[in-house]
Amino acid sequence: MNAGSDTQPTRHQVRPKPNREGDWLEVSMGPQHPSTHGVFRMDVVLEGERVVRLKPVFGYLHRNHEKIAEGTTYLGSMPYTDRLDYFCSMTNNWAYALAVEKLAGLQVPERAEYLRVILAELTRLQNHASLCGFLLQDMGAMGTPLMYAFREREKILDLFEAISGARMMCNFMRFGGCRCDAPPGWLEQARRVVDNFPRFLDEFEALLSENEIIMARTQGVGVLPRDLAINAGVTGPMLRASGVNYDVRKVDRYGIYDRFEFKVPLGEHGDTYDRYMVRILEMRQSVNILKQALADIPPGPVMDPKAKLRGFRPKPGEAYARIEAPKGELGFYLISDGGPNPYRYRVRPPSFINLTVLEDMCLGHTVADVVVILGSVDIVMGEVDR
């Protein structure tokens, strides 16, 4: 490396630091570390195997999403939202569409509202199933749990491909509705997937939830106290695992969520095990919502006839819209000056906010625990860095 270069060394840095209780080691985990869920680095200060300090380092995947959107038409930014949390493009689309609809005063037809709920809850199922599989892999359970989870995820991605033409970058929502209606037979296929999903959850829980190794590795590990979770702005399953009854679907009742009966699962201890169990229970509640939505979805159009795809220029003003995305509160803040592009465009990403309490959860734990705690946060670096 040249003298004066800012380039990070490729090997981990280990630098002794004197301390009255012994030597401290500063270790750089990443950005190439295989267990860090993306291009992400942790600068960890250790005393032996115990964490004394931890600093998350991100920005390696920064794509200038928000500034690009200010030079792009409103509709032109919809595909960019797919690339935020790339596991959950349908919910990314919905949050952005809600903000523009609020800005432009557009209404969404009944059938489109039902389709949005169905696609959002299917997204929650595949996100949480994948997270649980990855979490178990982080603990050393190589292969089986993740493959079980991905088997179910494939069925949901097949549904996304059938309705949108893409498995992950769906670009499906539109201002005032959805891009197209569900093709013939799609709803019946979705019902079969939803009806069979509880069997997967039963098998998954029987295999894992009372496994003594998993309980030893997760119970009492990475505790996030209730007060800290609230003060840090943590949302989603992480917040509810700490015992806070807060779900944007219940608070804002956006879309048509006020029509569905479902419970909000809560944890008692705020540890890694509670974060795992809350996601398992949320999947069961998503199945309940999906059964209600698939049974009640009405016929009709899927787009507001007043919505314009060309020459779209909302009146000057500002709007913020948020949803309960699988990882937490996802919000979009927009300012319009009457032009074809947003004057200001900002994203409130749950992965980034939830990551800010990582050090608090890791202090005093071992390096092996740190990887598991990070896995329980459920981050996607496309959303953290933007």
pLDDT reported for residue 8: 38
Residue 126 amino acid letter: Q
pLDDT(17) > 60: no
pLDDT reported for residue 59: 81
Least confident residue range of 36-50, 122-136, 249-263: 36-50
C-beta of residue 264 within 8 angstroms of C-beta of residue 247: yes
Structure tokens at 363: 């202090």
C-beta of residue 6 within 8 angstroms of C-beta of residue 19: no
Nearest C-alpha neighbor of 346 from the set 317, 313, 321: 321
pLDDT(259) > 70: yes
pLDDT reported for residue 92: 92
Residue 339 amino acid letter: G
Share above pLDDT 90 across residues of the chain, in percent, rounded to a whole number = 41
| Higher per-residue pLDDT: 118 or 3 | 118
How far apart are the C-alpha atoms of 139 and 128, rounded to whole Å? 17
Structure tokens at 31: 């950005």
How far apart are the C-alpha atoms of 156 and 151, rounded to whole Å? 9
How far apart are the C-alpha atoms of 334 and 343, rounded to whole Å? 7
Phi, psi for residue 14 in degrees, rounded to 5: -130, 110
Confidence of residue 12 (pLDDT cuts 50, 70, 90): very low
* Mean pLDDT of all residues in 67-90: 88
Confidence of residue 2 (pLDDT cuts 50, 70, 90): very low
pLDDT(3) > 50: no
Q: Give the up-direction half-sphere exposure of residue 256: CA atoms within 13 A in the CB hemisphere.
A: 21
Degrees to nearest 5, angle at CA 323 with 318 and 324: 155
Share above pLDDT 70 across residues of the chain, in percent, rounded to a whole number = 92
pLDDT reported for residue 35: 53
Structure tokens at 325: 């995305």
The average confidence (pLDDT) of the chain is: 85
pLDDT(1) > 60: no
Least confident residue range of 54-58, 98-102, 226-230, 310-314: 310-314
Query: In Å, what is the CA distance from 232 to each residue of 225, 227, 238, 239, 290?
Result: 11, 9, 12, 10, 32
pLDDT(10) > 60: no
pLDDT reported for residue 7: 39
Burial classification of residue 159, based on how many CB atoms lie within 10 Å of its CB (0-12 exposed, 13-18 middle, 19 or more buried): buried
pLDDT(278) > 90: yes
pLDDT digits (tens, 9 = 90+) for 305-340: 887 777 788 889 999 999 999 999 999 999 998 888
Structure tokens at 291: 């059964």
Confidence of residue 97 (pLDDT cuts 50, 70, 90): very high
Confidence of residue 11 (pLDDT cuts 50, 70, 90): very low
pLDDT(103) > 80: yes
| Higher per-residue pLDDT: 346 or 27 | 346
Confidence of residue 374 (pLDDT cuts 50, 70, 90): confident
pLDDT reported for residue 6: 39
pLDDT(15) > 70: no
Q: What is the DSSP string of 81-93?
A: HHTSSTT-HHHHH
C-beta of residue 100 within 8 angstroms of C-beta of residue 314: yes
* Mean pLDDT of all residues in 167-171: 88
pLDDT reported for residue 32: 64
pLDDT(140) > 90: no
How far apart are the C-alpha atoms of 373 and 378, rounded to whole Å? 9
pLDDT(41) > 90: no
Q: Which residue has the tokens 């702005």?
A: 233
